[in-house]
């Protein structure tokens, strides 16, 4: 079945949701099942599962699900499943003396005079720190974001890299635009290694056949409030970060590094690699029978009973196989759900090991020549052989 047929199949399944609109609990459950179908049908490269779920729970903004007519529901679903195309423009102030309309990787390099008029106007306003939007509440957020990004004061400086992406979900078009742009700039980084070229934290986007530019930025308008209940964990990690006192604490610090790369610096399809690498760093010291040891030890730390541990073992084994495929040259498709699970496992295993360090006196992963009960392997073996 080709991609168009798989999209059509998922669309038809979504259209059947309408009959459950007056039974919200059933509707919500069916929505979760359809979200999982994105992975089953290998559509994760064009549909963001979270986007699909959000859309299905609110197919028409400002209208209750039970008040939507059958025609309205169908039109909304049909519109969602259209593949859309977006042009993204990045200002590269370091470039000079390039020919206009110069091909580079996934895009082309343009002078300011060659970019569309709506983009010119938007770029001019952005350079002055101004941004307009039809929605006042969104405008307030965007103005706060603009304060956090570096925008050249003259949009004529340098050149503009135009990259076009296509997908059903905007989040995928956005992610691909930034990833394709970085890959395109890698060409110049290799060709002239003495020059340092940085992709901006923002682009100006415009959807095909539309005339409304918008700001696309990697700066997230997040807040991190203080929670007193987290203070003990933060104090524990403070000490570990500044002065780790054992091999196991050093490994936790390394795992946090992999965790950060997966969160902040990795393309989506490689996130799983770094999360699994973090788990591996926490659990494995020997190079023998890695898959078995990885899944077995991880399952014991994550699960509280035999059934849970069996489930965790199977999931961890599948994660490790995917991680190995990526490491050995495989171009694995982005598995949203598996990546989210792996990220959560890193967090849970770190907290569990910290607890074992403090309550069981663990200091290393594997015992050295003499077993003295201070290794993670000995702790895990104790649980396995206890029956």
Classify residue 87 as exposed, middle or buried by CB count within 10 Å of its CB (0-12, 13-18, 19+). Answer: buried
Q: Are 212 and 121 in contact (CB under 8 A)?
A: no
CA separation, residue 220 to residues 63, 142, 202, 223, 264 (Å):
28, 10, 11, 9, 11
156, two tokens: 């004529």
pLDDT tens series, the chain, 387 aa: 899 999 999 999 999 999 998 898 899 999 998 998 998 999 989 999 999 999 999 999 888 888 999 999 999 999 999 999 999 999 999 999 999 999 999 999 999 999 999 999 999 998 888 876 656 556 666 677 777 788 898 999 999 999 999 999 999 999 999 999 999 999 999 998 888 888 998 999 999 888 899 999 887 666 778 889 999 999 999 999 999 999 999 999 999 999 999 988 887 888 899 999 999 999 988 655 677 788 888 999 999 888 888 899 999 999 988 888 777 666 667 788 899 999 999 999 999 999 999 999 999 998 877 778 889 988 888 888 765
What is the pLDDT, as a whole number, of residue 331?
Answer: 60
Rounded to whole angstroms, how far apart are CA atoms 61 and 45? 25
pLDDT at position 281 is 93
- Chain centroid to CA 350: how far? 21
Task: Write the Ramachandran bin of 159: left for phi over 0, alpha for psi from -120 to 50, otherwise beta.
Answer: beta
- Distance CA(120)–CA(201), nearest Å, equals 18
Residues linked to residue 110 through DSSP beta bridges, in sequence order = 160
Rounded to a whole number of angstroms, the CA Rg of the chain reads: 25
Q: Which residues contact 380 (CB under 8 A, 6 or more apart)?
A: 296, 297, 300, 301
Both tokens of 202, joined, read: 């923002």
- For the chain, give every domain's residue range: 3-80, 84-217, 228-384
Angle, vertex CA 70, rays to CA 65 and CA 74, nearest 5: 95
Q: Please tell me the distance from the alpha carbon of residue 353 to that of residue 283, in angstroms, as a whole number.
A: 10
Taking the complete model, does pTM exceed 0.75, yes or no?
Answer: no
């Amino acid at each position: 079945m080709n991609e168009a047929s798989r999209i059509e199949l998922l669309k038809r399944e979504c259209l059947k949701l309408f009959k459950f609109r007056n039974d919200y609990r059933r509707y919500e459950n069916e929505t979760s099942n359809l979200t999982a179908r994105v992975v089953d049908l290998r559509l994760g490269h064009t549909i963001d599962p979270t986007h699909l779920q959000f859309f299905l729970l609110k197919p028409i903004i400002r209208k209750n699900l039970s008040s939507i007519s059958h025609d309205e529901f169908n039109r909304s679903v049909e519109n969602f499943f259209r593949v859309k195309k977006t042009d993204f423009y990045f200002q590269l102030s370091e470039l000079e003396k390039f020919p206009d309309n110069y091909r580079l990787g996934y895009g082309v390099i343009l002078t300011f005079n060659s970019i569309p008029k709506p983009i010119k106007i938007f770029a001019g306003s952005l350079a002055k720190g101004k941004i307009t939007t039809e929605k006042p509440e969104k405008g307030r957020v965007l103005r706060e974001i603009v304060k956090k990004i570096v925008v050249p004061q003259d949009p004529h400086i340098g050149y503009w890299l135009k990259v076009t992406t296509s997908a059903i979900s905007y989040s995928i078009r956005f992610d691909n635009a930034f990833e394709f742009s970085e890959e395109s700039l890698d060409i110049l980084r290799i060709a002239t290694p003495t020059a340092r070229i940085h992709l901006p934290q923002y682009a100006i986007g415009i959807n095909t056949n539309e005339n409304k530019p918008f700001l696309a930025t990697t700066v997230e308008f997040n807040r991190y409030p203080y929670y007193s209940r987290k203070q003990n964990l933060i104090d524990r990690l403070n000490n570990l970060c500044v002065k780790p006192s054992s091999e196991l604490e050093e490994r936790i610090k390394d795992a946090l590094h992999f965790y950060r790369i997966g969160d902040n610096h990795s393309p989506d399809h490689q996130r799983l690699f770094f999360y699994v690498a973090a788990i591996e760093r926490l659990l494995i010291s020997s190079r023998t029978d890695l898959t078995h040891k990885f899944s077995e030890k991880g399952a014991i730390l994550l699960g509280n009973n035999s059934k849970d541990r069996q489930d965790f073992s199977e999931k961890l084994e599948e994660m490790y196989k995917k991680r190995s495929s990526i490491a050995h040259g495989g171009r694995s498709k982005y598995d949203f759900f598996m990546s989210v699970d792996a990220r959560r496992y890193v967090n849970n295993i770190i907290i569990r090991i910290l607890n074992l360090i403090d309550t069981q006196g663990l200091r290393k992963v594997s015992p050295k020549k003499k077993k003295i009960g201070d290794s993670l392997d000995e702790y895990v073996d104790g649980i396995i052989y206890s029956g």
